[in-house]
Structure 1
Amino acid sequence: MTSTPHAHPGTPVPDLFALSSVTGPVLRPADDGYATEVTGFNLAPVHTPDIAIGATSTDDIVTALRWAAATDTPVTVQATGHGANFPVTEGLLLNTSRMTDVTIDPDARTATIAAGAKWSHVLAAAAPHGLAALTGTSTDAGAIGYTVGGGLPVLGRAYGYAADLVRSFQVVTADGVLRTADAQEEPDLFWALRGGKGNVGVVTEMVTELLPVPRLLGGGIYCPGEHAEALLHAWAEWTATVPDEMCSAYHLLRLPPLPDIPEPLRGNFWARVAVAWPGDPEQGERLIAPLRTAAPVTVDTVSVIPYTQIDTIHMEPQNPLPARESCALLHTLTPEAITAFLDVCGPSAPADYPLLMIGLRHMGGALARPCTVEDAICARDADFLLESVGVLMSPEAGDAVEAATLALYTAMAPHGTGLTMVNIHGRPGDDLDRARAWSPEVYDRLRRTKAAYDPRNLLRHGHTVTPAAAPGPP
């Protein structure tokens, strides 16, 4: 622990003696290592909390939350920073990235995952047993942060949401109490931790089911961007014919000329369909054959791959960058919706169009089925997900990305459900904007659950909700 705290100018120095038992670093802004401790994968928000703690154990997290409760200090949790969409300018930032332990029970087909473990850690531990987890498009993301937001997997149509497979959480609530939450014990807490994001506590450990999927058929079919319309119409029609196990997404990619991007993709505009199929490879190849004749194909990476190579399907950036993401849930992808989409971001868009990636992901299948144990996910009625990412390399680029994002989602709003998904909602706005991640009923219940476990709203940064007000006298 750092011995000499340094406060922001004009900020009272809180009593840090109660944190003396923390085994990880406890850092103030002037301390060596502070900037590294608070920086996550998304470099767009610059964090300047009053204190940063690098937790190394559940005990560290308990101590930090007890101190925060005693001093009325707001708390932000960061494992990898993939979901960081706002700057933290006060309070305590709790970095769990050192807590990466994963234990596999091959007989029970479960993984016990520590607070800061990435999905890559989980897959590396599970693969020798022929098992896999329901990961998203990047295994560099934190397993727990992804899952408490519901977790939309690459194989979601085949197996559902990542939160559907969770058996239990170990969580420290805002009062510093360590609790176990599952379907029988603390069921309201368990409900809120599966789709309600970081509203009710700091998860220190998660037990989740694994799947016997050692390999899959997956990859991308890339066409030059001028053929975006033909490929999109073909893909939209094709999605109505495929079985639930076929998982896919359509993307428009305007890739910068960066060395991390392989040739010939580097520096060019592409239309792509990414596919993932966990069944018989020959059947999968027959199913995707129509996509290969819909438009001229320049690059085709679809092949049988180990599950540990699932990142190669969507090829998301592997290095930190400043980004602005957003999403919206859509009803069926009608011809009118396709026209509206292409009019905004298709081949006729300006050459300097600023959104790096715009995607339409096929939902439905297992994603539409209710979970056995009720959860807070509100995306089961959507047939498609619209998502976008812009890179903020300069203030001018930031303005252009913001304007393009607004134009895209305004154009697609008539075709949407009115809701988003909390993990990729993007920068959270006011209460009305944050509420769009849930139905009105789930939002109200989440606020009531928040009031029970965090009535002072210490966990108030990020995509959180305000606690429901206590009922007045009769």
Structure 2
Amino acid sequence: MDALKNTVRGRVLVAGEDGFEQARRPWNLAVEQPVAAVVEAADAEDVAAVVRFAKGAGPAVAPQATGHGASGEVGGVILLRTAALDELEIRAEERIARVGAGMQWGRVQAAAEPHGLTGLPGSSPVVGVAGYTLGGGLSWFGRRYGWASDGVRAFDVVDADGERSRVTADTDADLFWALCGGGGSHALVTAIEYALHPAPALYGGRMLWPAARAAEVFAAYREITATAPDELTVWFDLLHFPGADPMVAVDATYLGDAHEGEALLAGLAGIGGLIGDGRRAMALTELAGITAEPTAPSAGLSRGDLLTGLDDTVVEALLDEPIAPLLSVQIRHLGGALAGPSQGAAGTLTEPYSLYMLGIPGTPERAAAVRAKQDEVVRALGSSLSGRKPFTNLAPGDDGTTAFPAETVARLRDIKRLRDPHGVIRGNYPLG
């Protein structure tokens, strides 16, 4: 890799060198990344130089900003870290954000909020905008505005030949379509421009009860989501934190007046035993506080699926038995704009709910128990699961093709063969 070190301005690390072990780790510390080298790109030209080197030398290039979506399918590749590509520009009059490939959602929200604008972030402020958007991006505000990838106006990319270009729906329709939710295997993105949305008021927060109230909370959740306006997003959570009693929670955001939001959630108000109620008018930068997800890397074993509905089978599968050894089981209400037309490969999401299960491995025995519990829940749910998975919820061992309909997979593969016939660019979950 000496030639590579002489090619780029950023740091290049290989096995045995100080800093290599830390640099190759993804966000999820349970995922191994047996890479050949790590390049910390200084700028977009470094990205292009790495691709040109890889094209000649043989190893593939796998981009990561934070590594939240790491699959572990990176044996022998060059891991390209893009954290230094941290450009951030808010063009308020145009309602456009331009962000580098290393930018995280929390910083974008902080920059957009003074203008009364918002992007389409998920639940964590430290997830990278690029990887999230390339996988479609399921946002708190997706029911109102659709996939995060539907807001993209342009990508700055490096192609498999190491050439830089700007890609829009007009300049390169096929590549633009593939990058809007197709997983990021078709070009290396160095910056994204996407639409911001007006958000003059936001109401939300978490309500928390003992697990004994789970059936009542779930019944109210089903009623609320059956008629919820697109501005309201509500998530149901079964929680069992280490050292604490099991609990049930409802997380919600409403793009509108606090009194209206409270009225829409009135079905939860009469459920006794409330432990805490954090709902209030809130700033866009306070979204992360609703679920309070970790902001430092940790180990986890997850599984994500899509639900066809919330019938009695779902109730029995999720509520009849404790969730232990899982840490959480979450149902997210989808629908709204997510079920409408899409400009990219993310496509139309017909399933009305998603399911996400998470456990902490700790030991091999604990990891096996977590996996066994996830499998048990899946078996119990049966046909209530559609078989499709959100791309950004894929976990190590998942097949990337499960994120898309067959016709979308075929088109993505055709574009990959045309644009990157030698497999220089490696996404988190290649489609084969």
Q: State the TM-score bracket (shorter-chain normalisation).
A: over 0.9
Match of 2:223 in 1: 237
Alpha-carbon contact 1:328-1:409 (below 8 Å) kept: no
Q: Mark the runs of 5 or more structure 2 residues left unpaired by the alignment.
A: none
AA at the equivalent of 1:208: Y
Q: Mark the runs of 5 or more structure 1 residues left unpaired by the alignment.
A: 1-13, 258-266, 467-474
Runs of 4 or more above 4 Å deviation: none
**% same residue:** 34
Q: Identify the match of residue 252 of structure 2 among 258, 275, 280.
A: 275
1:463 Cα offset (Å):
0.9
Aligned residues: 432
1:295 Cα offset (Å):
4.4
Q: Secondary structure at the match of 2:282?
A: strand
Q: Identify the match of residue 379 of structure 2 among 385, 389, 410.
A: 410
The C-alpha deviation readout for 1:319-370, integer Å capped at 9, x for no partner, is: 2111112111111211232222223xxxx327xx121111111111111111
Match of 1:349 in 2: 322
AA at the equivalent of 1:140: V
1:76 Cα offset (Å):
1.3
Match of 2:162 in 1: 176
Alpha-carbon contact 1:152-1:162 (below 8 Å) kept: yes
Match of 1:6 in 2: none
In structure 2, C-alpha distance between the alignment counterparts of 1:457 and 1:298, rounded to whole Å:
52
Match of 2:61 in 1: 75
In structure 2, C-alpha distance between the alignment counterparts of 1:82 and 1:215, rounded to whole Å:
30
Q: Secondary structure at the match of 1:195?
A: coil
Q: Secondary structure at the match of 1:240?
A: helix
Match of 2:135 in 1: 149
Alpha-carbon contact 2:100-2:192 (below 8 Å) kept: yes
In structure 1, C-alpha distance between the alignment counterparts of 2:382 and 2:249, rounded to whole Å:
23
The C-alpha deviation readout for 1:222-276, integer Å capped at 9, x for no partner, is: 110111111112211221122121101101011124xxxxxxxxx2311111000
Within the alignment, does 1:420 sit opposite 2:389 as a pair?
yes
- How does 1:317-328 map onto structure 2 within 5 Å? 317-328=294-305
1:382 Cα offset (Å):
0.8
In structure 2, C-alpha distance between the alignment counterparts of 1:178 and 1:423, rounded to whole Å:
26
AA at the equivalent of 2:230: D
In structure 1, C-alpha distance between the alignment counterparts of 2:7 and 2:72, rounded to whole Å:
30
The C-alpha deviation readout for 1:178-233, integer Å capped at 9, x for no partner, is: 12211101111110111111210110000011112154101111110111111112
Q: Secondary structure at the match of 1:248?
A: strand
AA at the equivalent of 2:327: L
Match of 2:192 in 1: 206
Alpha-carbon contact 1:100-1:121 (below 8 Å) kept: no
Change (3 A) 1:66 1:224: same
Alpha-carbon contact 2:106-2:126 (below 8 Å) kept: yes
The range that moved more, 81-90 or 23-32, is 81-90
Match of 2:413 in 1: 447
Within the alignment, does 1:253 sit opposite 2:253 as a pair?
no
Match of 2:286 in 1: 309
In structure 1, C-alpha distance between the alignment counterparts of 2:281 and 2:242, rounded to whole Å:
28
Q: Identify the match of residue 403 of structure 2 among 437, 448, 455.
A: 437
Match of 2:422 in 1: 456
Within the alignment, does 1:331 sit opposite 2:331 as a pair?
no
TM-score (normalizing by structure 2): 0.96
CA RMSD of aligned residues (A): 1.6
Q: Secondary structure at the match of 2:55?
A: helix
- How does 1:393-408 map onto structure 2 within 5 Å? 393-408=362-377
